[in-house]
Amino acid sequence: MRRGLRGLVVALVLCLVGAVPAVSAAAGAARARVPLPLELLFDNRAVSDDAQPAQADFDGAGGSLSARTLTAAGWTPGRELTVQGARLTWPRSAPGEPDNVRAAGQQVHVTGHGDALAFLVAGTAGADTRGTGTVAYADGTGSPYLLTAPDWRTGPLATKAVALPYRNTPSGTLAERVRLYVVTVPVLPDREVASVTLPYAPDLHVFAVSVRERAAGWTGSWARSTGGYAPVGPWTDRTLRLVVHTSAGGPRVRLRFDNTFAAAPVRIGAATVAVRDAGAAARGTPVRLAFGGAPGVEIPAGAQAVSDPLGFAVPADADLLVSFHLPGTVTAVPVHQVAVQRSYLSGAGDHTGEAAATAYTSTLTSWPLLTGVDVGGGPGSVVALGDSITDGHRSTPDTNRRWPDVLADRLLGQSDVPHYGVLNHGVGGNRVVTDRYPGDGVSTDQSGVSALHRLDRDVFAQTSVRTVVVFEGVNDLLSGTRAPDITAGLAEIAERAHARGLRVLAATILPCEGWGTCTAAVESERSAVNTWIRAGAVFDAVLDFDAVVRDPARPTRILPAYDGGDHLHPGDAGLAALARSVDLRLL
C-alpha cells in the first residue's frame, strides 16, 4: 500500500471510531487508543531492490533486506507462512515501501483464541532487543509478555525462521547472512485476544503478528524432529513412501511437512496416506491429501505445510504409508536421520496413488520432510524430548521398540489414564545447551540444534501437547560440558514449558562406563546432574531411568542384559524397562 493511501485509510479508520485524525498512523493510534491492523502502523522500510538499495533503511545505517533473496526463499509479498504452527503473512509491501513497525507501544488489532502470540521479528541493535508489552482480552482483562528479537546480523542461526545470503547496503550487496525470526510468547488459552500493545523498543522490528490457534479436536499421533539439512540424490521426479508408526488412532488425519533449515522452497506435487500392508505395499488404494484444496503445495524456506483434514480411519499402534511426489530436482532436504525404520523411494514419476510396491525400488533409512501425523479427537499428546536413546539407536530396526513406542503401547493397553499420543522428539547426538548442527546450510551432521534452541518447534508447537518428558544430557557430558551448565539448561526448559502450561517430567542420565569417552570425570559430572534432577525442585515429577538400567553390582555401567552393545545405548530389553518404569499417572 502506497504511503498516501495508507494515511488515508488510517484517517478513515480513526474517524469511524470517533477519534480525531492525526498526522501519522502510530501517533493517531496512540492518542485515540484504537488498535489498528499492523500494516497500517508500518513506519520502517526493511526491503529494497538490489538495483536501488537506498530505497530502504532497516537498521538506521542504510542496511536492508534484498527483495531478490526473499523471493528466492519463497517469501513473496502477501504470502501466508506457517512457522512453528502459527500462520503469519509476509507484508504485501513492494520494495522501498513501509513493511514493518519499530516497536514503540503501538496498539495492534489482533484477535483469536490460542496458546501463543507469534511475532515475525528481527532486531537491529547488534544484540538481542527485548521489551515488555501487554495482551488485552475480550473480557477486559490483560496480561504482560516479554518479547525478545534476535539481531538480524548476529542472532543465532539455530533459531531463525529464514536466513538470506547477503544484505543490501548503500554501496551495494554485502555477503553476510541476515536472519528473520518467529518468536512466540504464551497467552491465556481460555480467553479471546482482542489486541496487543507492542513493547517500547525501537530497535525491535515487527513484520507480522498473529494468535497461534490451539489444535482443538486433534491429537498428535506420530512426530519426528528435523535434525539437519542433508544432501540427497539429487532426486528429480521421484516419489518417497515413508513408513511411520502411530500411537493414538482416530477418524481423521492431517500431516505436517517442514522445510526447516532450508534456503529455498520445496514443492510437493501430490501426497497420499494409506495403512501399510507389507513393505512398500498399501492395504487398499492410498487416499489423496490436499493443501488448501490443491493437490500439492510449495513450502517456503523455513516454513511448514499442514494438509487439509481428511476423513480417514487411522488405526492406533499401526504402520502408515505416507507417499509424496517431488516433481522438481531436490539436492538437499530437512531430515530426521536415524529412523530405525526402512522407507522407500521410487523411480521416476508420481506413484503416490499406487497400492503396489512395484515402483519403489530403493530404500531409505531416514525421514525427509515429514514431521507429524495428527489424528482427529483424542486426549492430547506427550512429547519425549531426547537424544539417541529416545531416538531408538541400538533398538531392532523395523520393530518399533524405542522406549516411547513401548510407552505408547502401555497407554493403549490400560484404562486408568487417557490414551495419550506419544511424540518421539529424540535426535541422535543431541545436546541440551550446545548445537551440533549449526542451524543453517547443508551439513553431514544431523544431530540437531540444542534442546534449548529446538524447544519452541519440537515441544511448544506440537499438536495438543500437555506433558514433556526431558531425557537429555549425556552428550553434553561426553563433550566436556560441566554439570552446572547442564542443570541450568534443564531448569530453563522447565521454566519455559511451565510458562506454556505444560507438565514437565525429567529423567536421570544413564551410566556410560565402557563408552570410549566416558571417563571418571564424566561420571562425576553425571552423578552431580542426577543428584540435582532427583531433588526435583523445578520438575513436576522425576523418572529415575538411571536406577532402572544400571548394574546394581557396578552402578557406573548399564546392566549387561540391558546393554545394546556399546555401553551407552540400551537395547530392546533396556528400552522396554525404561518405558515400563513410567508411572502413567504422572503423564
CATH architecture of the region 379-587:
3-Layer(aba) Sandwich (3.40)
Q: At what angle do helices 520-535 and 483-499 cross, to 10 degrees?
A: 30
Separation of alpha carbons 174 and 170, rounded Å: 10
Closest CA to 299 of 254, 336, 269: 269
Q: Cβ(309)–Cβ(252) under 8 Å?
A: yes
DSSP line for 539-573:
SSEEE-HHHHHEETTEEEEE-GGGB-SSSSSB-HH
Q: What are phi and psi of 453, to 5 degrees?
A: -80, -20
- All 3 cell numbers of residue 302? 523455513
Q: Cβ(335)–Cβ(445) under 8 Å?
A: no
pLDDT (0 to 100) of residue 214: 87
pLDDT (0 to 100) of residue 459: 98
Using CB atoms within 10 A of its CB, is residue 224 exposed (0-12), middle (13-18) or buried (19+)? buried
Separation of alpha carbons 230 and 330, rounded Å: 11
- Look at the chain and count its residues: 587
**For 413-482, where are the alpha helices, taking DSSP H only?**
451-455, 474-478
570 preceded by cis ω (within 30°)?
no
Using CB atoms within 10 A of its CB, is residue 421 exposed (0-12), middle (13-18) or buried (19+)? buried
How big, in percent rounded to 5, are the helix, strand and coil portions of the chain? 20, 40, 40
- CA 204: distance to chain centroid? 23
Residue 59 CB contacts under 8 Å (≥ 6 apart), including other chains: 124, 152
Separation of alpha carbons 444 and 440, rounded Å: 12
Separation of alpha carbons 489 and 531, rounded Å: 15
Q: What is the pTM of this model?
A: 0.94
Residue 249 DSSP code: -
Residue 273 CB contacts under 8 Å (≥ 6 apart), including other chains: 253, 255, 286, 287, 289, 310, 312, 320, 321, 322, 323
Q: What are phi and psi of 187, to 5 degrees?
A: -125, 170
Separation of alpha carbons 271 and 281, rounded Å: 15
Separation of alpha carbons 336 and 370, rounded Å: 9
Closest CA to 119 of 127, 130, 5: 130
pLDDT tens across the length of the chain (587 residues): 333 434 433 333 333 333 323 334 444 444 447 999 999 999 999 999 999 999 999 999 999 999 999 999 999 999 999 999 999 999 999 999 999 999 999 999 999 999 999 999 999 999 999 999 999 999 999 999 999 999 999 999 999 999 999 999 999 999 999 999 999 999 998 999 999 999 999 999 999 999 999 888 999 999 999 999 999 999 999 999 999 999 999 999 999 999 999 999 999 999 999 999 999 999 999 999 999 999 999 999 999 999 999 999 999 999 999 999 999 999 999 999 999 999 999 999 999 999 999 999 999 999 999 999 999 999 999 999 999 999 999 999 999 999 999 999 999 999 999 999 999 999 999 999 999 999 999 999 999 999 999 999 999 999 999 999 999 999 999 999 999 999 999 999 999 999 999 999 999 999 999 999 999 999 999 999 999 999 989 999 999 999 999 999 999 999 999 999 999 999 999 999 999 999 999 99
Task: Determine the Cα angle at 134 with ends 132 and 136, to 5°.
Answer: 175
- All 3 cell numbers of residue 53? 538499495
Residue 170 CB contacts under 8 Å (≥ 6 apart), including other chains: 53, 54, 62
